Amino acid sequence: MNEKLELDKRKAFILATVVYEYINTAEPVGSVTLTQKYNLGVSSATVRNELAELESLGYLVQPHTSAGRIPSDAGYRTYVDRLMQPESLTKDDTRRIRDQFREASQELGDVIEQTTRLLSGLSGNLAIAVAPSRDTHAFKHVQLLWLSSRTGLAIVVTSGGVGAQRVFEWTTEVNADELTRLSNALNSRFGGRVMEEIGPADIDAVCAELGTSAEIREAVRGVFATARQTDEPEIAAAGAQNLLDQPEFHDLRKLRAILRIVEEQRTLYDLIADELAAENAAATDAAHVRIGHELRADELSECSVVTVPYRFGDRGVGMLAILGPRRMPYGRLIALASGTARSLGDHLNDVEIR
């Protein structure tokens, strides 16, 4: 039960070393390699005994009888949770992240995409970014514009940029003043609110006060609904070609599974959705690692995902993620993802519409 007892100091060191070595070489690790490359102070025979025990405890597996050991999900898990040393960003990484955000876009969607490019480049894996739910954006401004006597343009601006815009054609003539008055009323009523606090009933109330026509009311409802729309959260991914470097993806079926996941926004989002939900509840900024079967997807049983939330003001939470083989440099990737998330949050707060 108690892992402290289960893993004495030497076992822990050997396990850590096996994981470390396997991450670096992609080759199963044997007892001789361990005694030669690392200063264990015991003979390979002793290491063999330890390896056998670690295997029976479930931390290591053998691909076949006469091969070295590779870590199991549990082995990676223990390594990540208790054995590895946390890393911090290198000077070079810090600089590259800073440079990237210095000239980053103001549009949420563009920033998300640029961030995935950055993170995939730095990490050498597939990077994913999910934008904060639009529901948590702050309402900034709504404007109904008179285009012609029967057409108008409705624009909702939120802290994420232009939340929605749409052109409407009406069956009856519309007065420009009427639109302006309605805009002003909506703005003063909703100013300072978060989008999820603005429902159809609130809109109806304002419209009723001004005696707005049903047609225009529908238009306003519609554009607000679009601005809140949460069923297709903004998401971006980049760096799939990085995965080709990893020997575990030379198998075409695995590669195919990954590519399918990347191209289908839905599955990609599902991959991160539970972390996002957990994050919204827990509200810590820590990176999380999910390993192999913990991802609950057969195609990803040989992959790991590092996720880290980023904060958009004091409201929204988005997610950055790195997807790669289980054999990934966890310490470095956690540092990269955390650093990027922090910079991303800072950037978004800087450019946020005040």
Stretch that binds its own copies, among 23-31, 45-53, 138-146, 299-307 (CB under 8 A): 138-146
Q: Least distance (Å) from its own copies to the CB of residue 109?
A: 9
Residue 65 as a binder of DNA (CB under 7 A): the answer is yes
Tell which phi-psi region holds residue 154, choosing left (phi > 0), alpha (psi between -120 and 50) or beta.
beta
Count the neighbouring beta carbons within 10 Å of the beta carbon of residue 320: 26
185 contributes a contact to its own copies by CB under 8 A: no
Three-state DSSP class for residue 69: strand
Least spacing, CB of residue 287 vs DNA, in Å: 32
Phi, psi (rounded to 5 degrees) for 49: -60, -45
The correct pick among 166, 181, 315, 342 for binding its own copies (CB under 8 A) is: 166
Alpha-carbon dihedral angle through residues 98, 318, 261, 266, given to the nearest 10 degrees: -150
Name the residue among 290, 297, 298, 282 with its Cα closest to residue 337: 290
Selected from 69, 134, 327, 347, the binder of DNA by CB under 7 A is: 69
Q: Is position 259 an interface residue for its own copies (rule: CB under 8 A)?
A: yes
Burial zone of 294 (CB within 10 Å; 0-12 exposed, 13-18 middle, 19+ buried): middle
Beta bridge partners of 305: 290, 323
Structure tokens at 202: 């609130």
> Residue 264 contacts by C-beta under 8 Å, 6 or more apart in sequence?
none
How is 284-335 classified by DSSP, letter by letter? Answer: ----EEEEGGGG--GGGTTEEEEEEEEEETTTEEEEEEEEEESSS-HHHHHH
Residue 227 CB-half CA count within 13 A: 33
Q: Is 30 in the site for DNA (CB under 7 A)?
A: yes
The entry of its own copies, DNA, none that residue 48 binds, CB within 5 to 8 Å by partner kind: DNA
The rounded distance, in Å, linking the Cα atoms of 80 and 19 is 10
Residue 289 interacting entry, from its own copies, DNA, none, C-beta within 5 to 8 Å by type? none
Q: Does 125 bind DNA (CB under 7 A)?
A: no
Q: Does 74 bind DNA (CB under 7 A)?
A: no
Q: Decide if residue 172 touches its own copies (CB under 8 A).
A: no
Q: What is the closest distance, in whole angstroms, from the C-beta atom of residue 311 to its own copies in the complex?
A: 20
Coil/strand/helix, residue 25 = helix
SS3 state at 278: helix
Q: Which is nearer to its own copies, 239 or 329 (CB)?
A: 239
Q: Which stretch binds DNA (CB under 7 A): 66-74, 132-140, 142-150, 345-353?
A: 66-74
Query: Cβ 244 to DNA, closest distance in Å?
Result: 19
* Closest distance to its own copies from the beta carbon of 161 (Å): 7
63-66 long-range Cβ contacts below 8 angstroms, 24+ apart: 63/28
Q: Of its own copies, DNA, none, which one sits near residue 31, judging by CB under 5 to 8 A according to partner kind?
A: DNA
Task: Name the nearest CA neighbour of 316 among 266, 267, 274, 276.
Answer: 276
Q: Looking at 127, 240, 306, 328, which residue binds its own copies (CB under 8 A)?
A: 240
The interface partner of residue 263, options being DNA, its own copies, none and the CB cut-off 5 to 8 Å by kind, is its own copies
Identify which of residues 34 and 127 has a Cβ nearer to DNA in the complex: 34
**Smallest gap from residue 327 Cβ to DNA (A):** 16
Under the criterion CB under 7 A, does residue 52 sit at the interface with DNA?
yes
The yes or no reply on residue 305 touching its own copies (CB under 8 A) is no
Among DNA, its own copies, none, partner that 273 touches (CB below 5 to 8 angstroms by kind) = none
Name the residues that contact its own copies, by CB under 8 A.
106, 140-141, 143, 145, 147-148, 151, 153, 155, 157, 161-162, 165-167, 169, 238-241, 244, 250, 252, 255-256, 259-260, 263, 353-354
Interface with DNA (CB under 7 A) = 10, 27-33, 41-46, 48-49, 51-52, 55, 62, 64-69
